[in-house]
Amino acid sequence: MSTRPLTLYEKIWADHVVGRQGDGTCLIYIDRHLVHEVTSPQAFSGLRSAGRSVRRPDLTLAVPDHNLPTTARVDAAGRRLPITDTASADQLAALERNTAEFGIDYIDATAAEQGIVHVVGPEQGFTLPGTTLVCGDSHTSAHGALGALAFGIGTSEVEHVLATQTLLLRQSKTMEIRVDGTLGFGVSAKDVVLAIIGKIGAAGGTGHVIEFTGEVIRALSIEGRLTISNMSIEGGARAGLIAPDETTYAYLKGRPMAPSGDAWDRALAYWRSLPTDAAATYDAVVKLDATDIAPSLTWGTSPEDVVPITGIVPDPDSFADASKRVAARKSLDYMGLEPGTRMQDVAVDNIFIGSCTNSRIEDLRAAAEVVKGRHVADGVRQALIVPGSGLVKRQAESEGLDRIFTEAGFEWREPGCSMCLAMNPDKVPPGQRCASTSNRNFVGRQGPGARTHLMSPAMAAAAAVTGRLTDVRELLGGRVS
């Protein structure tokens, strides 16, 4: 046994190596596999045509989210309503059929537990510290918030995991991103991760697995940590980890799929051995000071295009790098923005509060705090609130948050990916601007020609009530202690 000090990532990796090939590629065991409707149908048909079965249905969980409309799913009598987009309906029906045929747990569209796959996993206790977890979706990195090594895979790999419960992988380098200090008034986890991506760049984490550390990360709830690790992929890293601690254990205890009784005690002892050893080192270290982080948002079409809300639209000529100057010019053209414009003077047409980045109960509470007693501004075409799961929705309703939103003029929807990627009917119309709590501001991501500004739920709520990009701190004065 080597006594070399190890990082959290190295410990999880070492515990999952089934075999090592001559070229350094390892066969890695996968403990948890989440499946959704868009990237799985071809994997199941591959299994079927090769006469193969699912090796570990018990380690697999399926839930529809990407394509599902967020309008009512059952009628007044509780009968399931049809989905009008036939291609979406077929994909959803295929997931239902495939999970039944291969014996996989399936949370159907009308169940209270249905939601975005990355919200459901932690919520059900399916996601556990020290596990390897995959899903055919790049934002699988979210689950790293609980100390799981979690990353997105392609459809052939989905099939590989279904058939063998393993993947062929090469070990990544490690990067520590340390955020110390205390967050200022009105600053949230989303602002922290936007600041991180603004600093390291959209390709900054390429080839690395990030571990987020420091006082700010330790002080965050699991909801906030999920927001941060979710966007690891936007910084180029395939996975982002946060070491499990008392916050993690308190969050997991008693969840339906988490261990209980003796198993819980044994698991806990193992989990406590996972955090990075004091003497371990990372291949790269990046440090941020919380006092430098303001409520932030994006101005361009890459998640690295971050400014504080008090800032201005940058001048493309101000970038040192020539390719960045070209990209910035293209971005501003697409975004319909002039250099030098104050971010706070930019009017918005759409508000989207949702996605696997920011659709949990804390996110909705933060947005409601801003919205309470106010109304969506006249110029806003549509303001959507899409809870991350049916359970989040139910919790929010029991706290009366839905009424705060609907009375203010928001639409209160059923859970799903929705306007995050515009695969269902929720789209931003061409040329319109959206204040969005999602994770990608790519060209056309929220619909062809849509202009996306990424921000926190509180900031999106502030934009909703003023009709322009707004410093949420101005609206929070006297409201939050």
Half-sphere exposure of 272 (CA within 13 A, CB side): 7
Q: Tell me what percent of the chain is helix, strand and coil, each rounded to the nearest 5.
A: 40, 15, 45
Among 64, 69, 121, 130, binds another protein (CB under 8 A): 130
327's contact among another protein, ligand SF4, none, with CB below 5 to 8 A by partner kind, is: none
| Torsional sign, CA 31, 36, 41, 42 | negative
Q: How far is the CB of 360 from another protein (least distance, A)?
A: 7
Stretch binding another protein (CB under 8 A), from 26-34, 180-188, 201-209, 282-290: 26-34
Calpha distance 69→423 (Å, rounded): 9
| Residues in 429-458 that interact with another protein by CB under 8 A | 444
**Beta-sheet strands, E only, within 224-325:** 239-241, 284-289, 296-298, 306-308
Q: Does 85 bind another protein (CB under 8 A)?
A: yes
27's contact among another protein, ligand SF4, none, with CB below 5 to 8 A by partner kind, is: another protein
Angle at 72 between CA 69 and CA 74, to 5 degrees: 115
Longest dimension (CA), the chain: 67
Looking at the Cβ atoms of 445 and 453, the one nearer to another protein is: 445
Asked whether 120 and 109 are in contact (CB, 8 A), the reply is: no
| Residues in 411-430 that interact with another protein by CB under 8 A | 423
Asked whether 229 and 242 are in contact (CB, 8 A), the reply is: yes
Q: What are the tokens at 377?
A: 């501004």
Q: How far is the CB of 259 from another protein (least distance, A)?
A: 4
| Residues in 299-358 that interact with another protein by CB under 8 A | none
Q: Does 202 bind another protein (CB under 8 A)?
A: no
Query: Which residue type is seen at 46?
Result: G
437's contact among another protein, ligand SF4, none, with CB below 5 to 8 A by partner kind, is: none
Residues interacting with ligand SF4, by CB under 6 A? 65-66, 116, 118, 137, 139, 355-356, 417, 420-421, 438-439
If you count them, how many residues does the chain have? 481
SS3 119: helix
Per-position x/- string for 46-65, each x denoting binding to another protein as judged by CB under 8 A, each - no binding: x---x-x--x-xxx------
Asked whether 449 and 431 are in contact (CB, 8 A), the reply is: yes
Q: How far is the CB of 148 from ligand SF4 (least distance, A)?
A: 16
90's contact among ligand SF4, another protein, none, with CB below 5 to 8 A by partner kind, is: another protein
- Taking CA atoms, 134 is separated from 4, 31, 117, 144, 159, in Å, by 28, 8, 11, 11, 12
Q: Does 31 bind another protein (CB under 8 A)?
A: yes
Q: Tell me, what DSSP letter sits at residue 33?
A: E
Site size for another protein (CB under 8 A): 72
211's contact among another protein, ligand SF4, none, with CB below 5 to 8 A by partner kind, is: none
Stretch binding another protein (CB under 8 A), from 154-162, 371-379, 410-418, 467-475: 154-162
Q: How far is the CB of 111 from another protein (least distance, A)?
A: 6
Pairing of strands 284-289, 451-454: unpaired
The alpha carbon of residue 192 and the mean position of all alpha carbons in its chain are separated, in whole angstroms, by 14
Looking at the Cβ atoms of 297 and 401, the one nearer to another protein is: 401
Among 127, 131, 331, 382, binds another protein (CB under 8 A): 131
Enumerate the β-bridge partners of residue 27. Answer: 19, 168
Query: Which residue type is seen at 142?
Result: A
356's contact among another protein, ligand SF4, none, with CB below 5 to 8 A by partner kind, is: ligand SF4
Per-position x/- string for 243-272, each x denoting binding to another protein as judged by CB under 8 A, each - no binding: -----------xxxx-x---xx-xx--x--
Enumerate the β-bridge partners of residue 249. Answer: none
Q: What are the tokens at 160?
A: 């590989």
Looking at the Cβ atoms of 165 and 438, the one nearer to ligand SF4 is: 438
Looking at the Cβ atoms of 249 and 270, the one nearer to another protein is: 270
Stretch binding another protein (CB under 8 A), from 34-42, 191-199, 272-280, 338-346: 34-42
Looking at the Cβ atoms of 100 and 480, the one nearer to another protein is: 100
Looking at the Cβ atoms of 94 and 294, the one nearer to another protein is: 94
| Cβ atoms within 10 Å of 248's Cβ, excluding its own | 20
68's contact among another protein, ligand SF4, none, with CB below 5 to 8 A by partner kind, is: none
139's contact among another protein, ligand SF4, none, with CB below 5 to 8 A by partner kind, is: ligand SF4
First to last CA, the chain: 52
| Torsional sign, CA 342, 344, 348, 351 | positive
347's contact among ligand SF4, another protein, none, with CB below 5 to 8 A by partner kind, is: none
Nearest to 98 by CA among 16, 40, 39, 160: 40
